[in-house]
Amino acid sequence: MTVSAAYGVAHVPAGLDIKDAGALGLAGTAAFDSLTALDVAKGETVLVSGATGGVGALAEQLGAATGAHVIATARPGAEADFITGLTDADVAVVDFTGDLAAQVRALAPEGVDAIMHLAGDGTELARLLKPGGRIASTMGLTQEAITGQDVTVHGVMADANAQTLTALAEKAASGALRVPVSATFPLEQAADAFAAFGAGTLGKIAITCS
């Protein structure tokens, strides 16, 4: 077999556990590409919808590292604790099962500057943007779906190129980015891993091969 070009492959640096490296791949790339599309600046306010998932847990960390004010969606209790425990930055948690709009407006009365749409109704979330705001969506939200607002929609599809993967791996190896692996299963228990995923396990699930 001939491989014309390497894609989705990068060196695992010293200090990065192999299971964390595997879990980082597409989830990390989706988070990284969303943040890049939004071009978030220090001091801006960013809402991360779906923050307890594999992509969201990485997105809130990457967003906080830019110096942005991060608002993350999570249920009170274990989910909120999970989110705030991932970074030393001051992340505000809002309960998406309650009045999300009111909670976000209480933190950002004029609206947020940017949104990472990783879960939920993108058109509803977009209403929380200030004029000129941006929303990056991995969920298929399009510009045409947003009417009557001065906002920009960026559709995101993770591009797991070697440069991005290497940058993420180096951040994780240095401790600047925590890979949220919450459960690990051997390959022969893959069915259990999928069951745990379906049950809403926080963060990422890793499957190991011996």
Q: What is the pLDDT of residue 198?
A: 87
Q: Is the pTM of this model over 0.85?
A: yes
Q: What is the pLDDT of residue 61?
A: 97
Q: What is the pLDDT of residue 1?
A: 57
Chain length of the chain: 210
Distance CA 164, CA 66 (A): 17
Ranges under pLDDT 70 in the chain: 1-6
Q: Which CATH superfamily is domain 18-179 in?
A: NAD(P)-binding Rossmann-like Domain (3.40.50.720)
Kindly give, in sequence order, each residue whose CB lies less than 8 Å from that of residue 166, ignoring residues fewer than 6 positions away. 10, 11
Q: What is the pLDDT of residue 6?
A: 66
Distance CA 104, CA 194 (A): 33
